């Protein structure tokens, strides 16, 4: 009768514990976090940080004050500008999409905007804001670089099709777990291999 050495099982469980520790990193990989003054912002653009030219993409920002308190759009005089790169500091923005309060993931009332990038290339999104009450947080300016892939411009139609009425976030959420799912499966495979290794 053969027995597995105890250290083999420990290595396997260690691998599984490592996988569990990596899950939050894998699920948050598509978010960018930056800080300015006493404000931090988590930025995401749908679908999956992979916008396409001529198609609507939803950008959103989770703003927090020092200490982690959420800053809802109703508490911020926020402004979003889109510049095509390269651009000069004094140049006029290509787009100034209006911000609206949206719900994204577990966040409620965060600033978001629908953006249609005119062509493929690199763009800079500049988000700035001041506290509506003049004191809750300091004025901030944040910028994010976005690479836009080529895509087909949306064709106007006479009557909307049922497919066109499907919300963008549904399509993005289906594909959003593909890369993390593959990575988790690979890491689980390594863990099982380590457990069963002789």
Mean pLDDT within 136-146: 95
Q: What's 31-153+163-168's CATH class?
A: mainly beta
Mean pLDDT within 1-29: 40
Query: Could you read off the pLDDT of 156-189 as tens digits, one per residue?
Result: 434 443 333 333 343 344 344 444 444 444 444 4
Neighbour-count burial of 189, counting CB atoms closer than 10 A to its CB (0-12 exposed, 13-18 middle, 19+ buried): exposed
Is pLDDT at 48 greater than 60 in this prediction? yes
Neighbour-count burial of 55, counting CB atoms closer than 10 A to its CB (0-12 exposed, 13-18 middle, 19+ buried): middle
Q: Mean pLDDT of all residues in the chain?
A: 74
Choice between 2 and 134, residue whose per-residue pLDDT is larger: 134
Query: Could you read off the pLDDT of 56-73 as tens digits, one per residue?
Result: 999 999 999 988 899 999
Q: In percent, how much of the chain has pLDDT > 90?
A: 52
Q: Is 186 helix (H, G, I), strand (E, B) or coil?
A: helix
* DSSP E strand stretches across 15-138: 32-36, 39-46, 56-65, 70-71, 76-84, 100-104, 107-116, 121-131
Q: How far apart, in Å, are the Cα atoms of 82 and each of 98, 115, 149?
A: 11, 9, 16
Give me the count of residues in the chain.
198
Cis peptide leading into 105, omega within 30 of 0? no
Res 67: pLDDT: 85
Res 6: pLDDT: 46
* Low-confidence winner among 20-29, 103-112, 147-156, 184-193 (lowest mean pLDDT): 20-29
Query: Could you read off the pLDDT of 96-137 as tens digits, one per residue?
Result: 999 999 998 899 999 999 999 999 999 999 999 999 999 999
Which pLDDT band holds residue 76 (cuts at 50, 70, 90)? very high
Query: 0.75 cut: is pTM over it?
Result: no
């Amino acid at each position: 009768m053969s027995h597995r050495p105890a250290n083999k099982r420990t290595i396997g469980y260690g691998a599984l514990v490592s996988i569990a520790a990596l899950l939050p990193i894998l699920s948050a990989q598509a978010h960018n976090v930056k800080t300015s003054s006493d404000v931090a912002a988590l930025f995401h653009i749908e679908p999956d940080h992979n916008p396409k030219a001529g198609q609507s993409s939803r950008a959103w920002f989770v703003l927090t004050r020092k200490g982690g308190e959420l800053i809802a759009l109703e508490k911020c005089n926020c402004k979003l500008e889109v510049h095509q790169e390269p651009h000069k500091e004094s140049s006029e923005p290509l787009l100034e999409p209006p911000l609206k309060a949206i719900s994204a993931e577990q966040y409620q009332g965060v600033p978001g905007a629908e953006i249609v990038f005119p062509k493929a290339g690199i763009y800079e999104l500049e988000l700035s804001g001041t506290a509506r009450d003049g004191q809750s947080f300091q004025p901030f300016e944040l910028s994010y670089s976005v690479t836009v892939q080529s895509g087909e411009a949306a064709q106007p139609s006479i009557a909307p099709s049922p497919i066109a009425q499907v919300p963008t976030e549904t399509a993005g959420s289906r594909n959003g777990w593909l890369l993390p799912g593959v990575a988790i499966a690979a890491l689980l495979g390594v863990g099982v291999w380590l457990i069963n290794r002789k």
